[in-house]
Amino acid sequence: MQPGRHAVEMRTIITVKRHTPARTFARVAAAAAATAVLVIAAPLAASAHVHVDPDRAAPGSYTTLTFTVPTESATAGTVKLEVDLPTKTPFGSVSYQPMPGWKTTVVTEKLATPVKTDDGTVTEAPTRITWTADPGVQVGPGAFEDFVVQAGPVPDTKSIVLPVTQTYSDGTVVQWNQPTPASGQEPEHPAPTVYVNAVPPADPETVHSLVTSAPVASSGTSAADGVAIGLGIAGLALGAVALVVAVFALTRRGQKGV
């Protein structure tokens, strides 16, 4: 073998051996960073529940309500949705936004007890709106769909609970009809709710007042600061773990004759 060729080969081997630990470190650090992001973000992920937006409305107004409906099943799709409308504090009228592939019906019934309003006495009102998918149409697994209505006048009340019945293609029926308590602790199947004169249990102002009324380490530390500090500590801890893993990988690499 010629000396020049031998030197080139040696330099090539040395170069590869010098860069391999760096690549190992980068890969380990990247994996650890990705894990850290997932671990920190997991508690902040919102639950996939049927909900209505907006969740607030002014009394006497007409409001557009969007029911966001996710399919939580891994094997079946959503083929029917029913929303029960209030009868004790009814809407005067409800209209819907047409959806291709879905049949929509609004049921209007005579009220058991007439309701007196500023516009007169209401003897009948819409009590239910139903969307039924055409054959072959569904909100598939992992997908969601928005169902939009316009309702009004909004009754002058504390809140309007809008129970939803979700039917899947395999016959499974899920009732979203559990009220959210004043504590804000969300039940397993919360009912979509529009707050009129009442404040939502999970309203940021309510949470802030509860946090600031409790003892804190510093008067200058807010609830948001506390969350940021907690996430920062978690990130540092996971970063330290990533560093240890990387150093361990480099050490093992060196022990194998690098």
DSSP 71-126: ---SS--EEEEEEEPPSSS--SEEEE---TTEEEEEEEEEEEEEEEETTEEEEEEE
Max CA pair span of the chain: 106
Residue 205 and residue 179 share a domain: no
pTM for the whole structure: 0.62
Residue 124 and residue 60 share a domain: yes
How far is Cα 12 from Cα 251, in angstroms, rounded to an integer?
22
The answer to whether residue 6 sits within a structural domain is no
Neighbours of 229 (CB within 10 A): 12
Q: Give residue 173's domain range.
A: 56-198
Q: Using alpha carbons only, what angle is made at residue 216 by residues 211 and 217, rounded to the nearest 5 degrees? A: 150
Q: How far is CA 125 from the centre of its chain?
A: 32
Reading the chain (258 residues) residue by residue, the pLDDT tens digits are: 444 444 444 443 434 444 445 554 445 444 444 444 443 333 333 457 999 999 999 999 999 999 999 999 999 999 999 999 999 999 999 999 999 999 999 999 999 888 887 777 889 999 999 999 999 999 999 999 999 999 999 999 999 999 999 999 999 999 999 998 888 888 999 999 999 999 988 654 445 555 555 554 444 444 444 544 555 555 555 565 555 555 455 556 555 554
Residues 188 and 165 in one domain: yes
Same domain, 121 and 178: yes
Q: Is residue 2 assigned to a domain?
A: no
The domain boundary, picked from 167, 198, 229, lies at 198
Provide the CA 41 distance to its chain's centre, in angstroms: 12
Residue 198: other Cβ atoms inside 10 A: 15
| Statement to judge: residues 191 and 230 lie in one domain | no
How many beta carbons lie within 10 A of that of residue 28, not counting itself? 19
Q: Give the tokens for residue 230.
A: 């907690």
